[in-house]
Structures are given as structure tokens and as C-alpha cells.
Amino acid sequence: MPIARILAGLVLGLPFLTPMATTPLSAEQPAFTWTHDDPALEWLPCFPGFPPGCRFAVLQGNPEQPNADIFLRLEPSSEVPLHWHTSAERMVLIAGEFEVDYDGQDPVVLRPGTYAYGPARLPHSARCLDAGRCVLFIAFEEPADGPLGRPDPAGARDLRRR
């Protein structure tokens, strides 16, 4: 009887132990945080078709590989031309007011704390409104088009039709 109780306890306890056993522990990569005004961020220029002053900073990962996170910074009143990405993008506006206009949809104004999802290959344009410098957090699922977009809206529309 004691062996049966021990086995029953092990079998009943396995579902609770399994998540702990499969969660990898990593001492190689510590947790970290960034703020959009951190002086340690390295701000890189966006592609030539983007407005003057457009910069991005890599927060985590490598934009040439899946699952990279960046900040995108734009000056007030600057306009981002029609472009597209091969990756979907998940975005949260950190600072400013940012209008995004996805092909075939009504434009929407993002304010700090607003989340937006942009599907892969969907052409869009955007502009930073006059409420100060815009900073946008973007998480790319796939490698980011570099630096950060494909300025070929005709090609994007061809891809969307497929």
C-alpha cells in the first residue's frame, strides 16, 4: 500500500512539475530594460526615403533575424512615405502623436500607450504630428526590411494580391 501511495503521488504531481522541468533557466542573458531617452541607445539612420531625422535603435535581437525589437524616432511634422515590410509589426507608441494610414483603411492616430498591429506586406504611410517627437516601439516577427522598410509601394500591392 505505501508503494501505491507513493506512485499515485508522483503521477498526480507530474502535471505541476512538468512546467518547471521544461522551463529553461538562462544565466547567459539577464533581463533588461530600456527607456526611449536612454543615452546608451545607439540611434541609426532610417533608409533614405524616410524623413530627415528618422532614427531607430535596436533594443533586443538582430533586425536581420526574426523577433527583433526596436524604437523608431521621428521629428514632429515629419511624414513617412508609403512603404511595406515583409514582417508583421507589433507597435506601441511611447511618445508624441503618430498617424498611421494602412492601404484600404481609415487613418488612425496613435497616442502614448496605444497598441497597433500592422500585417506583413500591407503598404502604409505615417506621420508624426505636431505634439512633439514621436517614439514608437516596434516588434518585428520576421527579419526587418532594412533599414526598416521597402519603399516600393507598387511591388507591395502586387504582393498583396497573391
In the sheet with 55-60, reading across from the earlier edge strand, the strands are 44-45, 55-60, 68-74, 134-140, 89-95, 115-118
For residue 15, the model assigns a pLDDT of 46
Give 90's DSSP letter. E
For residue 6, the model assigns a pLDDT of 45
pLDDT at position 28 over 90: no
Q: Which domain does 96 fall in, by range? A: 44-160
- Residue 55 belongs to a domain: yes
For residue 48, the model assigns a pLDDT of 78
Mean pLDDT for the chain?
80
- Residue 68 belongs to a domain: yes
Provide the domain count of the chain. 1
- Residue 101 belongs to a domain: yes
Q: What is the share, in percent, of the chain residues with pLDDT greater than 70?
A: 73
Higher pLDDT pick, 147 / 142: 142
- Residue 6 belongs to a domain: no
Q: Which pLDDT band holds residue 148 (cuts at 50, 70, 90)?
A: low
- What CATH number is associated with residue 69? 2.60.120.10
Mean of pLDDT values over 125-152: 83
Higher pLDDT pick, 3 / 35: 35
Mean of pLDDT values over 50-55: 91
Higher pLDDT pick, 72 / 11: 72
Q: How far is CA 47 from CA 1, 53, 110, 149, 151, in A?
A: 73, 11, 23, 7, 9
Higher pLDDT pick, 92 / 11: 92
For residue 77, the model assigns a pLDDT of 96
Would you list the DSSP string of 41-81?
---EEPPTTSPTT-EEEEEES-TTSSSEEEEEEE-TT-EEE
pLDDT in tens, 105-121: 999 999 999 999 999 99
pTM of the complete model: 0.73
Beta strands 124-128; 79-83: pairing state? antiparallel
pLDDT at position 3 over 50: yes
Q: How far is CA 65 from CA 95, 125, 145, in A?
A: 27, 24, 10
